[in-house]
Amino acid sequence: MGLFGIIIATVVNLFIRSSGMSMIISYIGVIVFVGLTQPAGLDGAVIRKGAILGALSLYLDFINLFLMLLRIFGQSRE
């Protein structure tokens, strides 16, 4: 749900172009993607079956987390 909220807020911010809202979206994005990188309590059979999809999902979570952190620390201080 948090990921869908980030996507909707980003689309709204495309029209508003608010730097404050962009920072809030970035902070919430960091929290959401850190939460998504936490391991789930699954049994061994499920882990073996979904290893490739799980690795891809984790890779994409880290990429998105890195992009959100770049947005936070790349903002110019005025």
What is the pLDDT at residue 49? 67
From the list 24, 34, 41, the residue with the least C-alpha distance to 61 is: 34
Residue of higher predicted confidence among 56 and 4: 4
Instruction: Encode pLDDT of 52-63 as tens digits.
Output: 777 888 888 899
Instruction: Encode pLDDT of 7-52 as tens digits.
Output: 999 999 999 999 899 999 999 988 888 887 776 666 666 666 677 7
Strand, coil or helix: 62: helix
* Prediction pTM value: 0.67
What is the pLDDT at residue 28? 92
Residue 42 DSSP symbol: -
